[in-house]
Amino acid sequence: MSLDRDTLFIGGDWVAPASSETIQVISPHSEELVATVPDTTPADIDAAVAAARHAFDHGPWPRMTPAERIDVVAAFSGLYAGKLAEMADVITAEMGSPTSFANLAQTPAPWMQIEAFLGIAREYPWEEIRDGALGSPVMVRREPVGVVAAIPPWNVPQFTIMSKVIPALLAGCTVVVKPAPETPLDGYLMAELLVEAGVPEGVVNIVAGGREVGEHLVAHPGIDKVAFTGSTAAGRKIAAVCGEQLKRVSLELGGKSAAIVLDDADLTTAVEGLKFTALMNSGQACVAQTRILASRANYAAVVDALAEAVSAMQVGDPMDPATEIGPMVAQRQQERVEKYIALGQEEGARVVIGGNGMPEGLDRGWYVRPTIFADVDNGMRIAQEEIFGPVLSVIPYDDVDDAVRIANDSDYGLAGTVWTGDREAGLDVARRVRAGTYGVNTYTMDFAAPFGGFKASGLGREFGPEGLGQYTELKSIYLENPPAE
């Protein structure tokens, strides 16, 4: 089945693009052409924003009751559930995520988000009456923020689209989604399901493109809010534009998270968990805990256990269910990671396993050898900068206070874990590390709880009631007291 497309999804219809320019989607595994789709232009962005603007200003969606919108989103959820395997295959084809991870997280997790937000929306206080401080009642309403620009990255495209589109829809907003040029294909399948579910024309528009059209979308006067997931550098630029225009913005940005292994941790259990938290999606994850903190007394044991476990992980064809680490999304990403591996050696860190060069048995594809660095100082660039690949730095600490200090010695504050045999000691560490999400002997994202970061890891939160609230404006309506009986 061909994945080629020649139209864009604007105003509830498949429309011809403004130019003949195309995006070539290349397999990160085979380096062969997967599909060709239109490359969005600023004129296409203008058309998509106009459609979303008209749907918000004049269409039925913002004027439906929350219950009516919930019914449409629930229909979409049911359709989406039937397409999880197909969507996972599309994502693996376009960006190289191992099919094991794609079928674990790339598509089931977005569907779980939809279901979680539906439950939240059913109980959400869309209107509430409060006892006013001056003696008269006050109605507090939560109204849709308006037209939303949703800009997801390429690493978990559906996951990051749903964290924006679903709460926006439930709140009554309309949306322009700009998928990354590396991952435009899953958006087409999503659009088909939205139409089938009965989402009105113009409520969701999907136009894939690169940085230039993204900048045009962010600055567009027809956009009321920007929701972005991506690099901190791009997030700073978006925040500056939104600040100038007093435009609402939420940013889920980078991370350089630390996993603290305490001496009383079960090392086998900890290392098995660290394999996932550090190397999920081939290391291409904002929450990847690629700084592994081990005490000096236990340092050699942690390094050896990690090296043994990571060396045994299968690297290769992402469509092979046995593969645990696939390719990088693009050749530029492969080159970026390899530069960091060379930099780590220049900084004086010791390569325990991996290093530059293609993994054994592979002669094509944008692969990187899973690499573990030991003797890493937290001031090194490989310990401070987000690499976004399968590269781990093991950093020694003196005591628990020192471990917390090192974990917090970062521009980022997105995620982290502590591994210990003492739950209360783990909770104490969790409370002291400045990160928006944290795990004690585990790491996950619970869609009932807010997700986001401290410091340079972003602004605002996704998931939970807090995530839904990002797409609402608060209105206070002052009421006169009812007449006395």
Which residue numbers are catalytic?
A: 252, 286
> Locate tokens 């559930």: which residue?
81
Q: Which amino acid is at 45?
A: I
Q: How many residues does the chain have?
A: 485
Tokens found for residue 160: 């990051």
DSSP result, 326-345? ---SSHHHHHHHHHHHHHHH
Cα distance between residue 67 and residue 462, in whole Å: 22
Q: Which amino acid is at 355?
A: G
Cα distance between residue 417 and residue 340, in whole Å: 24
Going from the C-alpha of 431 to that of each of 397, 402, 408, 411, 438, the distances in angstroms are 19, 15, 12, 18, 9
Cα distance between residue 455 and residue 443, in whole Å: 20
Contact 249, 218 (CB under 8 A): no
Please count the other Cβ atoms lying within 10 Å of the Cβ belonging to residue 50: 18
Residue 360: partners with Cβ closer than 8 Å, 6 or more residues away: none
- Residue among 36, 39, 46, 25 at smallest CA distance from 205: 46
Contact 412, 457 (CB under 8 A): yes
* ∠ Cα 268 273 279 (to 5°): 125
Tokens found for residue 42: 């600023």
Tokens found for residue 68: 């009516």
- Residues paired with 315 in a beta bridge: 325
- Residue among 400, 460, 387 at smallest CA distance from 167: 460
- Residue among 351, 267, 257, 354 at smallest CA distance from 302: 267
- Count Cβ atoms within 10 A of the Cβ of residue 389 and give its class: 0-12 exposed, 13-18 middle, 19 or more buried: buried
